[in-house]
């Protein structure tokens, strides 16, 4: 699959940038495949919110984070195999309730586990506007301060201090939620998302962003493409070539 994506990118460089897939359950092999992806011209990788029964703070994954830093690869994290799904057999709740919780689990695991401290050059984007994290970060901070004996066992830095250290996409499905998200994570850390081709995606990507009566033209431009350019570490020349 990685070879195929790389081939598409090479054939149509002005249309596509590619992310690879790696075998996270075998970290050393995964790190080697990440490096190979970068050698083929892929911009980074997409991974899940957890791997089997391991969360993303597990030291077993350190070789992958190290390889990502050393190759300047971006990491896109998407939820899957949602926690609590055995209690959510009806109403499509694994996707409505479980997915936001899964993404929050991934973010909290990396924060509380000190991953961003050990690998400060990581460029990570979390799907679905960061899930429930941006809307519960006050609760998460309060828990950190109230019970450091439980929360600060691996990292004693306030979780809120990591706002601005990672990116999220714009898939909120609600303009008020998007405007609140900007207040929490910042207008420079939100990337246009589509979730294409799934039912929970935005049929016309950017509709929610463009519908805002609060955002300025400059802010909309950041969310629609400028922030993505920064996240992917593209040069001005690369962007201009894509516009031809």
Residue 147: pLDDT above 70? Answer: yes
Residue 240: pLDDT above 90? Answer: no
Mean pLDDT of 136-145: 98
- Hey, CA dihedral for 65, 80, 127, 181, is it positive or negative? negative
Q: How far apart are CA 113 and CA 104, in angstroms?
A: 14
Q: What is the CATH number of the domain that holds 137?
A: 3.20.20.140
**Structure token pair of residue 156:** 């004693």
Residue 136: pLDDT above 80? Answer: yes
* Per-residue pLDDT tens digits for 66-97: 999 999 999 999 999 999 999 999 999 999 99
Report pLDDT for 242. Answer: 65
Nearest to 79 by CA among 64, 109, 101: 101
Report pLDDT for 6. Answer: 98
Give me the domain span that covers residue 66: 2-242
* Per-residue pLDDT tens digits for 18-42: 999 999 999 999 999 999 999 999 9
* Per-residue pLDDT tens digits for 169-188: 999 999 999 999 999 999 99
- The proportion of the chain whose per-residue pLDDT surpasses 90, expressed as a percent, equals 93
Q: How far apart are CA 51 and CA 14, in angstroms?
A: 33
Number of separate domains in the chain: 1
Angle CA 30–100–125, to nearest 5: 45
Residue 239: pLDDT above 90? Answer: no
pTM (2 decimals)?
Answer: 0.95
Identify the band that residue 14 occupies on the pLDDT scale cut at 50, 70 and 90: confident
Q: How far apart are CA 106 and CA 51, in angstroms?
A: 10
Identify the band that residue 104 occupies on the pLDDT scale cut at 50, 70 and 90: very high
Q: What is the mean pLDDT of the chain?
A: 95
Report pLDDT for 235. Answer: 72
**Structure token pair of residue 208:** 């929610």
Residue 159: pLDDT above 70? Answer: yes
Report pLDDT for 244. Answer: 59
């Amino acid at each position: 699959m990685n070879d195929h994506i790389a081939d598409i990118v090479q054939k149509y460089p002005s249309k596509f940038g590619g992310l690879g897939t790696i075998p996270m359950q075998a970290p050393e092999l995964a790190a080697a495949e990440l490096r190979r992806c970068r050698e083929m011209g892929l911009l980074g990788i997409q991974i899940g919110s957890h791997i089997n029964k391991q969360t993303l703070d597990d030291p077993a994954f350190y070789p992958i984070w190290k390889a990502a830093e050393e190759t300047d690869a971006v990491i896109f994290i998407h939820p899957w195999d949602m926690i609590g799904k055995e209690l959510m057999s009806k109403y499509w709740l694994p996707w409505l309730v479980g997915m936001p919780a899964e993404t929050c689990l991934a973010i909290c695991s990396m924060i509380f586990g000190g991953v961003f401290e050990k690998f400060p050059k990581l460029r990570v984007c979390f799907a679905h506007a960061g899930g429930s994290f941006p809307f519960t970060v006050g609760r998460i901070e309060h828990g950190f301060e109230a019970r450091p004996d439980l929360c600060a066992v691996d990292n004693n830095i306030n979780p809120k201090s990591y706002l601005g250290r990672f990116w999220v996409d714009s898939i909120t499905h609600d303009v008020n939620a998007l405007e609140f998200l900007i207040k929490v994570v910042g207008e420079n850390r939100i990337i246009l998302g589509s979730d294409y081709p799934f039912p929970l995606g935005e049929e016309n990507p950017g509709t929610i962003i463009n519908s805002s009566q609060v955002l300025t033209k400059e802010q909309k431009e950041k969310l629609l493409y400028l922030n993505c350019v920064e996240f992917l570490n593209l040069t001005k020349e690369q962007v201009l070539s894509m516009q031809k």
